[in-house]
Structure 1
Amino acid sequence: MKLGLLLFLIGIEGFILNNKNLILMLICLEIMLLATTVLVLTFSITFDDLFAHIYALYIIILAGAESAIGLAILVAFYRLRGEISLSSPS
């Protein structure tokens, strides 16, 4: 359980500190989803609940879809602006 909480806190901290770089924001979002999956599976084993395994599978599917859509938006953003950084162009 401590591992899941640590991963989630690392993901939140990275998301807040790297708010200028879209790729790092997507990576931090994936870390937070992974941490949520680890916590769900930990509680599933603790309480011997099979439905939590199915819920963890849905979280993993959601993370994959989020990555695909996020990278597609990132490619469109790069084609539009010519850079990935969220800071205003100088």
Structure 2
Amino acid sequence: MRLTILLIIIGLIGYIINSGPLGRTNIIKLFISIEIMLLGVTLLIILSGYNNDDILGLIIGIIVLIITGIESAIGLTILVNYYKIKGSLPTNI
């Protein structure tokens, strides 16, 4: 439980630092922060399902992990194609 809250807080802090007036926006760091938050939420769902002997929580956790993996693959594909076209990645927006 503490690990999941820690992961969510770390991801949220990373997202806040990398967006808005506190710093320049870095696309890669934003993706990583969002992935860390999703990992924390997924771990919380899986642990809750395991503690309550609820198979539905485990199934939802696995589905969220699959969707997160697909989202990461699509984001990285977009970045790779952008790099192929432009020759460099804009890390700061």
Give the structure-1-normalised TM-score: 0.84
Q: Structure 2: 5+ residue runs without aligned partners?
A: 20-24
Superposition RMSD in Å? 1.6
Q: Tell me which moved more, 67-76 or 4-13.
A: 67-76
Identity %: 39
**2:7 matched to which residue of 1?**
7
**2:18 matched to which residue of 1?**
18
State the Cα distance separating 1:84 from its structure 2 match.
2.3
Verify: 1:86 aligned to 2:62, yes or no. no
State the Cα distance separating 1:83 from its structure 2 match.
2.8
State the Cα distance separating 1:15 from its structure 2 match.
1.2
Q: Structure 1: 5+ residue runs without aligned partners?
A: none
CA separation in 2, counterparts of 1:43 and 1:83?
40
CA separation in 2, counterparts of 1:47 and 1:72?
38
State the Cα distance separating 1:2 from its structure 2 match.
1.4
State the Cα distance separating 1:11 from its structure 2 match.
0.4
Give the structure-2-normalised TM-score: 0.81
**2:79 matched to which residue of 1?**
74
